[in-house]
Amino acid sequence: MAEFSLESWHLRVLIAAAEAWDRKEEARKAVAKFGLTFVDEKGGVKVRPEVSIERDARIAFMRAIRELDLDGEGPGGEPTRPPAIGSNRR
């Protein structure tokens, strides 16, 4: 926080990013422990709910980090972020 000038909304986004990261890690640990799938009462193989929780939390984290736009310049004034992917729209 010493290197960036953050508004109050930046802090809320940063907190949301940290919470999303924590949720992703909890889900990742559950997937590591219990696996990706389970067999339901009818014998069908189903994806564990933690798989989608991990995916959704990862997406939320990445979006929050992108929203903060904290990337700056690296050594030699080079941008630390790769150029944006261009749109397919014409």
User: Residue 28's domain spans which residues?
Assistant: 10-70
Does 83 map to a domain?
A: no
Q: Model pTM?
A: 0.73
Does 24 map to a domain?
A: yes
DSSP string, 37-60: EEE-TTS-EEE-HHHHHHHHHHHH
Residue 12's pLDDT is 94
Does 90 map to a domain?
A: no
Instruction: Choose among 46, 49, 48: nearest CA to 35.
Output: 48
Counted domains in the chain: 1
- Tell me how far apart the alpha carbons of residues 25 and 68 are, in angstroms, rounded to a whole number: 21
Does 22 map to a domain?
A: yes
Render pLDDT for 36-59 as a digit per residue (tens, 0 to 9): 999 999 999 999 999 999 999 999
Show the tokens assigned to 15.
């907190």
